[in-house]
Amino acid sequence: MTDNVKKRRRESPSSILYHEWDYLRTREKSLSLGYSKRTVEMYVAFTVIIFLVAMVLQTTVFHLIQIGGVKPDLVLILVVYFGLTKGSDIGCVSGFAFGLIEDMFSGMSLGANALTKTIVGFLCGFSGKHLYTQSLVTHILCVGVSTIIDVLLLFSIHGFLLDWENILIYETIYNMICCPWIVYLLRFGERRLRTRSSSFI
């Protein structure tokens, strides 16, 4: 085991969020094109809070309303959104950081979700350059494809279950149903941030 892996395993969720915050803040500064420092920090805080709320809902509320023993992967939907709209850099970093925290909450092998969601974030970021990302249909289809990739990769790591096909189908459909609502909320939040940013300029 390398020193970097050992160091990553010793990091707490708060430490991971700090590194995520620092990277996204630096990245967003380079993309802000005139936005104030306050606006950039507000957007980064918005991103972190959204991911934390998604993980809490995923492990509490949606745990009680499973369909076919499957619940939606809200974190995956968010990674797809940020990958498509913000690029592969933010998609990868968001996927890795919050995938790692998801591993800690779920009790799965440390690094499994981090790996799969990093791959999803990169692929969505790359695809976003060639797709019309303002279309809701684009997000829904990308969430469907990303769910298939994510589930197959996780089964490859942990081993395939007897009913893995049903799990794959249910989770793909569940995520695609949840996708429009999450995209709407994210766009609403971003519009509010842009509106507030105009008052600081």
Judged by average pLDDT, the poorest of 14-23, 151-160, 169-178 is 14-23
The predicted-structure confidence for 163-182, as pLDDT tens digits, reads as follows 899 999 999 999 999 999 99
User: Which comes out higher in pLDDT, residue 106 or 80?
Assistant: 80
DSSP string, 17-60: HHHHHHHHHHHHHHH-TT--HHHHHHHHHHHHHHHHHHHHHHHT
The strand pairing partners of 67, in sequence order, are: 70
Q: Is the overall model pTM greater than 0.85, yes or no?
A: no
State the average pLDDT over residues 121-131.
95
Instruction: State the number of CA atoms in the 13 A half-sphere of 57 facing the CB.
Output: 12
Could you give all domains of the chain from N- to C-terminal order, each with its CATH number? 13-24+36-194 (1.10.1760)
